[in-house]
């Protein structure tokens, strides 16, 4: 499956994690607008042709559900003329930026997949890396996402500061229990 990626650099995240400064890493500060989203999707449809039904529109790079609500809705609204030509929309976000209200909004706009930047299920590792959420937040968000019928993805980072092979293995085992 293909993704038509629209990069929303480091928006919405209230923290500066030890491993993440996307503006510095990517050099990208451009914030996509309605015209950019529409142009990107037009090009993707031309390129993918009949395979577009297998592809998801993907908003990556920031905590999508934590960005300014008006901006998030503008981006989602920009997909409306194109969405029926795609499998759906995939977003990535933080576990502590998920609740029933936000999931209801995502459902309205035909979001199909939610990836959580969980990174670890060890609270000590999460604190040491300035994540700003807990392992319990990951569990709660994962459960809500699945209850709303979305496909769940969990992003894991091994070798984080203050982690260990044992902590990383524990994270992988807990992720498996969450059934992403």
Q: Indicate the DSSP class of residue 81.
A: T
Residue 15 has pLDDT above 60, yes or no: no
The pLDDT-based confidence of 22 (bands split at 50, 70, 90) is low
- Report the interhelical angle of 135-147 vs 100-108 (nearest 10°): 40
Lowest mean pLDDT among 2-11, 88-97, 123-132, 160-169: 2-11
| Res 18: pLDDT | 44
Q: What is the pLDDT of residues 56-98, one digit of tens each?
A: 999 997 789 999 999 999 999 999 999 999 999 999 999 999 9
Which one has a higher pLDDT value, 39 or 30?
Answer: 39
What one-character-per-residue DSSP string does 104-143 give?
A: HHHHHTTEEEEEEEEE-S-HHHHHHTT----HHHHHHHHH
Residue 16 has pLDDT above 80, yes or no: no
């Amino acid at each position: 499956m293909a993704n038509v990626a629209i990069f929303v650099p480091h928006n919405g995240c209230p923290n500066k994690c030890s491993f993440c400064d996307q503006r510095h890493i990517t050099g990208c500060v451009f914030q996509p607008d309605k015209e950019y989203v529409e142009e990107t999707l037009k090009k993707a449809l031309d390129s993918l042709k009949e395979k577009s039904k297998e592809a998801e529109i993907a908003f990556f790079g920031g905590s999508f559900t934590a960005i300014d609500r008006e901006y998030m809705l503008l981006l989602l609204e920009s997909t409306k003329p194109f969405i029926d030509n795609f499998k759906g929309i995939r977003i990535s976000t933080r576990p502590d930026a998920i609740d029933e209200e936000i999931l209801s909004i995502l459902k309205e706009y035909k979001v199909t997949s939610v990836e959580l930047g969980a990174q670890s299920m060890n609270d000590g590792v999460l604190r040491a890396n300035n994540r700003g959420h807990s392992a319990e937040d990951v569990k709660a968000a994962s459960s809500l996402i699945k209850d709303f019928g979305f496909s769940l993805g969990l992003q894991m980072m091994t070798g984080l500061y203050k982690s260990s092979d044992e902590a990383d293995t524990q994270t992988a085992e807990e992720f498996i229990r969450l059934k992403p």
